[in-house]
Amino acid sequence: MLKKLFIAFLLVTLSACASNGKRDETRVGEPGTFTTGSPHADAIYNVLVAELALKRNLPEIAAQYYLAATKQTKDPVIAGLAVRVATFAKDDAAALEAAEIWQQVEPENREVLEYLGVLYLRNSQFEKAKSILVRLLEEEAGKTTLSSRFLGMGALLQREADPTAAHELAQHLIKGHEKLAEAQYFAASIALRSGKKEMALEHATVAVKLNKKWDQAIILKGRVLETMERMDETLKELENFLKKQADAHEVRRYYASVLLNERQYKQARSQYEILVVKMPDDPDILFALAVLAYEFKELDEAQAYLEQVDQLGKRSPRETYFLGQIAEEKKEYDRAIEWYSRVHRGQYALKAQLRIGAVLLESKSLEAARKHVQQINAPTEQIKLEILRFEGSLIKDAKEYGQAFDFYSDLLDDFKNNPEILYDRALIAERLDKLDLAVKDLSYIVKQQADNAAALNALGYTLADRTDRLDEALGYIKRALELQPNDPAIMDSMGWVQYRLGNHQDALKFLQQAMDIIEDGEVSAHFGEVLWQLGRKDEAKKVWQKAAKKFSDSKTLANTMKRFGL
């Protein structure tokens, strides 16, 4: 109370000083005439308390004081502040009350009308919202096109409104404008946000038909198809568009990113190579090419792309982290640690610290690596679990399989039936020929998480490779492939189980698909074995010999070549 009285006294004093001894005769409450020299100390007090609350990160309190000042002054500037702060504080009732006062003072102000449209929608006053937004859409015909207004309306409702209510309103607003591509785009984007995927696809398809050269329309249609997991259609739509619109760079960028996400690395790389010619200074394109070069073990080329980003002055933690990965791959361990140590923020900070542990394992000892990892700060239980699992992977990479098995088993005492730790232990158990336990752990995971593709694949492959339960293995791998149809590891598993079942042509098809996506010692071992059994022995030898140069540490490859006398 004492503090409040002191602030009020200070405000009155400042007000008197500001008037320089002259009384401000302006009538407070008259629209647009509020000044700091006003004799109404209550209004000034409310504004100052609101500003202090904002400085102390208390928007909920600030909103109430700005609303009080708005009621006292009817000033549009203060009303605008009240609306924005209350909206930020998610106090929709206060925001609406202030917005209605603001609109009384400035009935033609487009900003307040936009706020009102959204706030009426949020406060379940659908008819008022519809009236305001229809007015916004149809007014100012001479200043902006209807197309632009639909796009602006889409941005407004995407950002602010309740998705379901926004969808209903969007369906009303496009009536009479169905032949306008932007109206269909607007309806599609709102339908997608509200989870109405089929309707979103219908609107997006019409938008593309109405404007066949509009890049944003085809991108939106692609994203709708993505959410529906219709990836083949997504890629086909984008490919066909680019055949006709080769200079649609944003569409090509999106197409490349979809290919990358689908692990179609060779195709993605070709698209990014086209883009970099047109946009040589784009750091995201250069980074994507660096990642792809790294994927294909072309380390010098990957480094060159990242150095281009550095020369542009746009190197961020992701590029720094990746330079560390390249140095690590080159076995330049001191340099790798130097790069990783420079990553202090963002999503790569923890990854960088973990990779330092991996480098220490290679360059010093398991003890040094574990000591480093154990010192990493873990602010949450999830991060703690991630660090512990990585420590387990260090023990496994050191080929201390018995120690790794005990480590994961001990973790399960603290993290009962944790599927991630069970998965880690199962892979180690399989190596130690504890086959029953491996199958038990993986079976538990897939019962609890029917859509866990990694566990389904691991269980299916283990059964296919180590047992005669081939039909059961096939079922698990089929399910994993349905969940992740472009995962080369699952394609490899499918190829291997088909081979074990005697379906050599089917096996060859899946293994060839995996080989087209990645180069890997185990996949090469399987692919070569199928070729050999089909009588294509020279091809098999070439596959194995090429893989042996790159994957000299692949136990599966070495054992396969030994079995066939190579």
Q: Please, are residues 521 and 558 in contact by the beta-carbon 8 Å criterion?
A: no
Identify the residue with better confidence: 46 or 11: 46
pLDDT of 334 reads 96
Q: Token pair of 59, please?
A: 């928007």
- What pLDDT is attached to residue 426? 96
Q: Which of 34-43, 314-323, 376-385 has the lowest mean pLDDT?
A: 34-43
Q: Is the pLDDT of residue 110 over 50?
A: yes
- Quick one: tokens of 361? 């394992």
Domain ranges of the chain: 1-136
d(CA 356, CA 364): 11
Distance CA 89, CA 72 (A): 21
d(CA 111, CA 99) in angstroms, rounded, equals 10
Listed ranges 107-121, 188-202, 428-442; the one with the highest mean pLDDT: 428-442
The pLDDT, as a whole number, for residue 323 is 95
Residues sharing a CB contact under 8 Å with residue 243, sequence separation 6 or more, in sequence order = none
Residue 158 has pLDDT above 70, yes or no: no
Q: What's residue 160's pLDDT?
A: 54
Q: Comparing 555 with 24, which gets the higher pLDDT?
A: 555
More confidently predicted of 35 and 155: 155
The mean predicted confidence, pLDDT, of the chain is 86
Which residue did the predictor score with more confidence, 554 or 233? 233
Residues 6+ apart with CB under 8 A from 153: 133, 136, 137, 173, 186
Query: If you average pLDDT over residues 308-313, what whole number do you get?
Result: 89
How confident is the model at residue 28, as a pLDDT? 34
Extract the tokens encoding 203.
Answer: 């609107």
Fold of 1-136: 1.25.40
pLDDT at residue 153 in the model: 66
pLDDT at 520: 87
27 pLDDT more than 70? no
pLDDT tens per residue across span 419-461: 999 999 999 999 999 999 999 999 999 999 999 999 999 999 9
Task: Kindly report, residue by residue over 269-289, the tens digit of the pLDDT.
Answer: 999 999 999 999 999 999 999
Query: How does pLDDT run across 343-372, given as a tens digit for each residue?
Result: 998 899 999 999 999 999 999 999 999 999
pLDDT at 392 over 90: yes
Whether pTM > 0.85 for this model: the answer is no
pLDDT exceeds cutoff 60 at 467: yes
pLDDT at 271: 96
Cβ neighbours of residue 63 closer than 8 Å, sequence gap 6 or more: 50, 82, 85, 86, 88, 89, 91, 94, 95
Q: Is the pLDDT of residue 412 over 60?
A: yes
pLDDT attached to residue 20: 41
Q: Note the pLDDT tens digit of each residue in 499-531.
A: 999 999 999 999 999 998 888 899 999 999 999
Percentage with pLDDT > 70 across the chain: 89
Per-residue pLDDT, 387: 96
For residues 117-122, give the mean pLDDT.
76
